[in-house]
Each structure stands twice: as C-alpha cells, then as structure tokens.
Amino acid sequence: MPEAIPIIVGLISAAGVGTSIYSLANQPGTPKPATPTPAQQQQTATANRTSQESAISQQLPGLQAQVGGSLSPDALLQLAQLASGQSGQPGVGASVQDLLSKMAGGSTTGSGLTPGGAFG
C-alpha cells in the first residue's frame, strides 16, 4: 500500500494542473470596440478631407514658385501631395479633385465626385 501513495499524489496534482489550465483557457476575451455610427464616420471623413486639403494647399505657393508655373494643375497637386506627406492616404483623391475644381474656379458639392453647378 505505501507504493500507491506517490501514484495518488501524482493523480491529485495532475487534476489540479488540469483545472488551472481549464480556468486559464476559458477566460473572457477583450471586449471589441464599438463601431462608429454613420454620423461619426461622416464627421471623421469631413475632418480628414479638410486637413488633407489644408496640408496640400499650404504646399502650393512654394511649389508654384519653385517650378516657375510650368506644371499643370494636376501635376502640381500631385507634387503637393508628396511634399505634404499626404500621398497614399485614404480619401486624398477626393481632396485633390476638390482642389482641382477650386483651382478651375468651380465649387464642390462635398462628395468629391461632381463639381457644383456642372449640370445647371
């Protein structure tokens, strides 16, 4: 019978380890952040567009002077994107389209797709 004591102790300790592993494996995960509402998404998009247009517009006078006015408006805006660090950012294409429309003397509807008054 004394030979069974180490076996019994081993079984009890194995059961304790198994319980510990089970409790660690079944802990709740981290909560997921709430998804933004459409109004919050629109507000964020508008703020991003405004900051992109501002950053790109600030580069235009210096770049225009450096190239001597020899670039087309589209090429000038592409260069301004690079100089401002906005190139490749989400939504920058719409911001550039808005700036092109403003440079051409039109206004924008805010969507970046259709200049205002183009169909009137």
The domain ranges of the chain are: 43-102
Query: 95 near 112, Cβ under 8 Å?
Result: yes
> Mind listing the pLDDT tens digit for each residue in 14-42?
656 556 666 666 767 777 888 888 899 88
Query: Distance between alpha carbon 77 and the CA centroid of its chain, in Å?
Result: 21
The reported pTM is 0.53
Using pLDDT thresholds of 50, 70 and 90, give the confidence band for residue 115: very low
One-letter amino acid of 65: A
Structure tokens belonging to residue 114: 């259709």
